Amino acid sequence: MVKLILLGLLAGAFFSSTFILNELMSSAGGHWFWSASLRYVFMLLIITAIITMQHGFSRIKALMRIFLQHWGFWCITGSIGFGLFYTGICYAADHVAGWVVAATFMFTVVASLLVLLAFGQRFDKKFIVYAVIVFIGVALVNISEGLHAASITDAVPMSDMLLYGALPALIAAFSYPIGNQLVWQASHNARQRNTELQKAAELNTQRAGISIGSDINDQNEPLISEAYDLPATTYDATDLDSVLQSNNTSATSSLQNLIARIPSIETTLLQNAFNKVWLMTLGCLPFWLFLGIIVRPDQPHPSQIINTLLVALLAGVAATTIFLYAREQAVTSSEVAGVDSTQASEVIFALIGGILLLDSAIPSAMGLVGIGLIIVGLIFFAKDG
């Protein structure tokens, strides 16, 4: 267990590089658009190389076919889960310290529950208490940062700090789980459809067996059948279309109708995390192109390109690989919860990195209390989640 926690902490250190390097690029004058978009350009190249080395270029061709079959879905999920998510992170880094962005983004744990609730899932009421703890912590962190900024200069009021710093980070906190949930729902729809098709096939087979048995009885021959008896009402739904539609009659709300329109992507390739990241990364590229046309940023500095590549390597590849490895090595649910709770270390590492590398100010007592509440809330989530 100690080894898994250490691996989780190492992943948290690599993840925190996102917030530190984004703040560094912002302080150096680099435009937030390049910090956001170039990361995913590099990510696509790196993950393509990794998948090719592991499975050959044929895997990339198979993934491209999946993308082209549902290009609209992947562009939407990529734009939300990666585009809006990282736009919020990088835009917020232009207005508040990296550790504040990291602390605010930790609200994504609460946002994930709200997203699951919107998709029809349910959870224990005690998680509402944990969510309130995290929310109070996030609020204290942002208020303390706003008060600190107001004491330094009158040019940036606290309202602007919250509007341009906290709000984009909160949007990112919701965008990330929404994108991931959409991909999960596509795989879930495929599994559900396969189950319904299998049930329909079994019912049709049983009905055919009964019909054959009746014909044999008419010919005064003994009936030999392995089919078990079913209630008469069962055969009212043996038609394939009626079986497929039976579970959709309750989808009356607009949200349920939207969820029902999520495509059913029947492939085992979505069971691999790298494959899903590759598809979402490719899908977010149109978002960056469209956003670049609107923003029209100046050309990126060479140092910004290098730092963005480091973010892609450290946070996009190293951190994700280590974290997923630690999760896979976990045997019990308590070990998985322990690994998940190490996500809270990102705030601490971002704070330490900002102080050592960027001369960031030490948080006030209010900010430290907020960080403590966030960490406690995340540990509770991991322990009982």
- Give the residue from 381, 323, 370 showing the smallest Cα distance to 16: 323
Domains held by the chain: number: 1
The residues near 94 (Cβ < 8 Å, ≥ 6 apart) are 26, 32, 164
Of residues 180 and 46, the one with the higher pLDDT is: 46
pLDDT of 194 > 70? The answer is no
Mean pLDDT of the chain: 79
If you average pLDDT over residues 334-341, what whole number do you get?
67
Could you give the CA distance from residue 196 to residue 245 in angstroms, rounded to a whole number? 9
Domain interval for residue 334: 2-384
The residues near 114 (Cβ < 8 Å, ≥ 6 apart) are 174
Coil, strand or helix: which one is 362?
coil
If you average pLDDT over residues 30-35, what whole number do you get?
92
How many CA within 13 A on the CB side of residue 54? 11
Instruction: Report the pLDDT value the prediction gives residue 149, as an integer from 0 to 100.
Output: 65
Q: Which two tokens stand for residue 152?
A: 């330094």
Instruction: Report the pLDDT value the prediction gives residue 47, as an integer from 0 to 100.
Output: 92
**For the whole model, what pTM was predicted?**
0.76
Q: Are 168 and 77 in contact (CB under 8 A)?
A: no
Handedness of CA 7, 9, 14, 15 (dihedral sign): positive
**Mind listing the pLDDT tens digit for each residue in 222-247?**
322 222 233 333 334 334 444 344 44
**Mind listing the pLDDT tens digit for each residue in 76-95?**
999 999 999 999 999 998 88
Look-up of token digits 């080894």: 3
Instruction: Report the pLDDT value the prediction gives residue 4, as an integer from 0 to 100.
Output: 81
Give me the percent of the chain exceeding a pLDDT of 70.
79
pLDDT of 51 > 80? The answer is yes
